[in-house]
Structure 1
Amino acid sequence: MTQPLLSARAELIRYDIRRDRAGWTVYDVRSGAIAVIDEVLQVGLDMDEADAVADALSTEPPSASLAGIMPRFAWFQAPARP
């Protein structure tokens, strides 16, 4: 019963966030894989950063969306906290 719900959600949202030990993780709803930007796992982010990344990655094309938020968040230049 959860499979159809998951499929419907994956059609609407490509990336979402979930709580991790150090903050929030951005993940691909379709595969469950953690999002990676410039070889950096998107884990341990604060909620606002994770939400902004998930929103940017969910829109097409991702590179144009990310360009608009890159100056606001230093995590694009620094590795994510383990």
Structure 2
Amino acid sequence: MWKEKGALVGSFYRNGAYVQSVMCLSELIYQARTMAHESRDSGQVNTEGLLATEYHAAAGVAITLGHSELVASRAAEAIKPS
């Protein structure tokens, strides 16, 4: 399912269908976040890797749409120590 959805997001992105890309990404990110919290051991590592990929794709769409300052501020927040 993840590969198919990821391919769909890529297809939408390449064809300039950014709204559809964002809608698919938001669903994938929600599902990946839920799975990452519920998974254990290697399953959690794999799911967190998938989540990172989805965040990367979302950042790409945001930059394409001219929101690079938003991406930069979110990245800065993400690397701050807790």
TM-score norm. by structure 2 comes to 0.30
More strand by share: 1
Larger Rg: 2
TM-score with structure 1 setting the length: 0.30
Highest relative contact order (Cα 8 Å, sep 6+), 1 or 2? 1
